[in-house]
Structure 1
Amino acid sequence: MAINGIQFQKGMSLAQFMKEYGTEEQCEAALVKARWRDGFECPRCAHRLAYEFKRGATRYWQCKACRYQTSLRAGTVMEHGHLPLTTWFLAIYLMTQSKTNIAALALMRHLGVSWKAAWLLKHKLMEVMVQREAGQPLQGEVRADDAYLGGERTGSGPGRGSSNKMAFVAAVELREGRPQRVRFDPVDGFSFAALTPWAKCAIAPGSCVVTDGLLGFEVLERLGYTHKVVLAPRGKAGTEIEPFKWLNVVLGNLKTALSGTHHAFKFAKYARRYLAEVQYRFNRRFDMAAMLPRMAVAVTHTRPCPRRKLLGKSEAKT
């Protein structure tokens, strides 16, 4: 059997990571390059020249034109955080180089921080992944299907009616019969009204989308997409027919990644981020070593995401 080149790629070893990002100075230099690839640019007036100075341990840039002062973390998802940059980079490394998700409890032990700090850091990085993936619609030949996260809970409805289930659309973009990119998008249901915003966001114009006989997907035709319906047989045979083979493979890997890592989480509240974590890694799996520097760029271009926004109205329980 031939070796899968993607699956067996070297990625970035821990030794290589420590060599390139093992000190605070190395991480700061990498983050400066990620934020200002062509040199400093004032976030207020876009001027290119600045004075540099330090206040305590923090490095600042003061624009020579408008005199606006900024730091490396200001205006990014790292703003107001106190964790060392080495901790941020190690968390990024652990979340991008693993095939499956990593729990906040495992991050806590690897990073040497409290569970609350690990949970917050993980969710900030997952929010970066959510925002990075949001503007990347699938195009060309696409397969889509309805799916659910979660199981039945005592006292709730059975099957798909369970209050512990979260509906989402799983879609895969194929090229020459092989999966290229995926999207896992939570939806309020599978009615025309619920699937219309999903289609506009997740599928590029001109794409050809193949689905099963679910009525809600007929909205694709109304929106101008080429839509083909393939009625799959019931049971295991339906997962193995050619139109939906790869879609079911990525769905199986997704659910294995989640169930093998997390005992439980609030599906309705946090599913978007956990799904985005798997989606982000899958869509960049062709070059695992490049995922860390690419994620560093994404971190510097994601707006601040404070704890109250991540938690919402209630405390996190995962």
Structure 2
Amino acid sequence: MAINPIQMQKGLSLTDFLKQYSTQAQCEAALFQARWPQGFRCPVCQHAVATEFLRSKTRLWCCRACKHQTTLTAGTMMHQSQLLLSKWFLAIYLVTQSKTNIAALALRRQLGISWKAAWLLKHKLMDAMRQRESGQPLSGDIRVDDAYLGGEYPGGKSGRGSENKTAFVAAVEMRNGQPNRVRFDPVDGFSFAALMPWASSALRAGSVITSDGLSGFRVVQQLGFQHRVVIAPKGKAGTEIDAFKWLNVLIGNLKTTLSGTHHAFKFSKYAARYLAEVQYRFNRRADLCALIPRLLKAVMQAKPCPRGVFQALIEQET
């Protein structure tokens, strides 16, 4: 069997990572580059000149035009975080360089922090990925299918009606017979009304959409897309036909990754984040070393989730 060059990447070793990001100064320099690659810009007025100073060991920039003061992390996903930058960077390294996902419990042990802090950190990183991916529609030759996360509760409803199942659309952008990019988007169901918002945001105009016979996917025709329907045979043979072979492989890998790492989570609440993490990593799989600066940029550009919202979620988990 031929070696897959993407799977066999060396990535960034822990030794090389520590050489680049082990000190506070190195972390601050990397964050500055991620947030202001063209130099400082005031978040209020976009002025380019500021006075830099320290206050209680915190580095601040005071805009010379509007006098607004800001820090490296203010207004980002790191906003008001009490964790050391080195902890953030190590978490980003572990999340991006591991072959499979990493759970909050593993982050807790690796970083030497509380479970609550690790859970919060993990969800902040996943939400930054979700925000980054939300504005990246697929284009060209796109194969789509309906899928579900979760299993049946003992004594509960069976099949697709189970209270523990969360519906999502799996879509893959094909290029030269190989999967190029994917999207895994939670939806309220597979009716026209539920799929209309998904199709409007996840698919770029001019694309050709291939689906099975699910009637809800005909919504793409109403939006002006070319739509090809392929009726797959039942059983295993249906997963191996050319139209959906790669899509079924990706859905299988997704479910194996999530179940093997997390075992279970509250699908209805957190599906968007967990799906976005798998999607984000797959769509940037060709260069593992670049994943660290790219995720740093996503964290710097993501809108912070209100602290009270995350705190309430943590309390519900404990």
TM-score bin (small chain): over 0.9
The corresponding residue for 1:273 is 273
Is the contact between residue 120 and residue 307 of structure 1 (CA under 8 Å) also seen in structure 2?
Answer: no
List aligned pairs for 1:1-318, cutoff 5 A.
Answer: 1-310=1-310, 315-317=315-317
Aligned-residue offset at 1:99: 2.5
Aligned length: 318
Runs of 5+ in structure 2 lacking a partner?
A: none
Aligned-residue offset at 1:156: 1.5
Letter of the aligned partner of 2:20 in structure 1? E
Q: Secondary structure at the match of 2:137?
A: coil
Aligned-residue offset at 1:155: 2.8
Letter of the aligned partner of 1:303 in structure 2? K
Q: Which moved more, 1:93-102 or 1:146-155?
A: 93-102
Letter of the aligned partner of 1:304 in structure 2? P
How far apart in 2 are the matches of 1:236 and 1:102? 31
Letter of the aligned partner of 1:112 in structure 2? G
Aligned-residue offset at 1:100: 1.6
Q: Secondary structure at the match of 1:272?
A: helix
Aligned-residue offset at 1:165: 0.3
**CA-to-partner distance for each residue in 1:287-309, whole Å, 9 max, x for gaps?**
11000001111111112213333
Is the contact between residue 150 and residue 166 of structure 2 (CA under 8 Å) also seen in structure 1?
Answer: yes
Q: Secondary structure at the match of 1:94?
A: helix
**CA-to-partner distance for each residue in 1:118-169, whole Å, 9 max, x for gaps?**
0000001100000000000000000000000000002310011100000000
Aligned-residue offset at 1:311: 5.9
Alignment TM-score, normalising by the size of structure 1? 0.98
Is the contact between residue 130 and residue 277 of structure 1 (CA under 8 Å) also seen in structure 2?
Answer: yes
How far apart in 2 are the matches of 1:108 and 1:223? 46
Q: Secondary structure at the match of 1:31?
A: helix
How far apart in 1 are the matches of 2:279 and 2:298? 15
The 1:10/1:316 distance shift into structure 2, 3 A limit, reads farther
Is the contact between residue 144 and residue 172 of structure 1 (CA under 8 Å) also seen in structure 2?
Answer: yes
How far apart in 1 are the matches of 2:316 and 2:124? 13
How far apart in 1 are the matches of 2:78 and 2:313? 22
How far apart in 1 are the matches of 2:309 and 2:190? 27
Is the contact between residue 120 and residue 314 of structure 2 (CA under 8 Å) also seen in structure 1?
Answer: no
How far apart in 2 are the matches of 1:155 and 1:312? 30
Q: Secondary structure at the match of 1:37?
A: coil
Q: Secondary structure at the match of 1:131?
A: helix
Q: Secondary structure at the match of 2:315?
A: coil
How far apart in 2 are the matches of 1:316 and 1:12? 36
Identical-residue share of aligned pairs (%) = 66
Q: Which moved more, 1:14-23 or 1:184-193?
A: 14-23
Q: Secondary structure at the match of 2:45?
A: coil
How far apart in 2 are the matches of 1:26 and 1:236? 52
How far apart in 1 are the matches of 2:169 and 2:83? 36
Aligned-residue offset at 1:314: 7.7
How far apart in 2 are the matches of 1:163 and 1:314? 22
**CA-to-partner distance for each residue in 1:165-205, whole Å, 9 max, x for gaps?**
00000000000110000000000000000000000011101
Alignment TM-score, normalising by the size of structure 2? 0.98
